[in-house]
Amino acid sequence: MSLAYVSPFDERVRAPEPLAPRPASLNGLHITLLDITKNRGAEFLDRIETLLLARGAATSRVAKEIFSKPAALDLIDEVARHSHAVVQALAD
């Protein structure tokens, strides 16, 4: 008689990634706007960008190769190196 089952799950416990500290103000920060290439996502980012610039932030735009795949590690590294914060847009 079996004492246990073989789990189909990966039972390893992964430590949750802590959230980065939230900035008190956007003034003077560099914000990257990541377009995931979903339809009309760029329009949404245009509006966000306008609002960010009005609050004194600097912005730049990058895009994923395709919305249905995770972002390339190089792209994530680049965003992490050059940005204080990032905004991803999902639209349809």
Partner 1 sequence: MTAQAPELAVTGIDQEPVTVRGLIAGGAALLLFVNEDCPTSALAMRNLGPLCLGLEHAGLSCTAVFEDRLEVAIRVARRCGWTGRVVSQSAPYATSRAYGVVSVPTAFLVSRGGQIATRVTGWDQPALAGLIQEASAMTGRPLTAPPATEPLRKPGCSSKAAIDPELAAAMEGNSNGDELEEMFERGWTDGLPVIPPTPERVEKMLGNRDGATSLGVVPPAMGEATLARLAACAVLAGCRPEYFPVVVAAARAALDPRFNLHGQAVTTQPAGQLIVVNGPVRHDLNLNSGMGVLGPGNRANLTIGRALRLLVSLTGGGMPGTLDRSTLGQMGKIGFCVAEDEEGSPWEPLHVERGFAATQSVVTLIGADAPLSISDHRSRSPEDLAYVLGWAAATQWSTNWWPLHEPSVFIICPEHAQMFRAHGWTKQRLREFMFDAVTKPAGELRRGETTPFVHAADPAAHIRKWSSAEAIVLLVAGGEAGRYSAVLGPCTGMGYQIVSAEVESR
Q: Nearest CA to 63 among 39, 42, 85, 91?
A: 42
* Nearer of residues 58 and 91 to partner 1, judged by Cβ: 91
43, 46, 65, 77: which one binds partner 1 (CB under 8 A): 65
Q: Considering only residues 2-31, where is the footprint of partner 1 by CB under 8 A?
A: 2, 4-10, 12
Name the helix (H) or strand (E) containing 42.
helix 41-54
* Residue in 19, 68, 73, 74 binding partner 1, rule: CB under 8 A: 68
Query: Residues 6 or more apart from 16 whose CB is under 8 A from it?
Result: none
Least distance from C-beta 29 to partner 1, angstroms?
Answer: 31
Least distance in angstroms from the C-beta of 54 to partner 1: 31
Q: Which residue of 20, 51, 53, 66 would you call a contact of partner 1, by CB under 8 A?
A: 66
Which of 78, 70, 26, 69 is closest to 61 using CA atoms? 78
Give Dmax (Cα) for the chain.
69
Give the footprint of partner 1 on this chain (CB under 8 A).
Answer: 1-2, 4-10, 12, 65-70
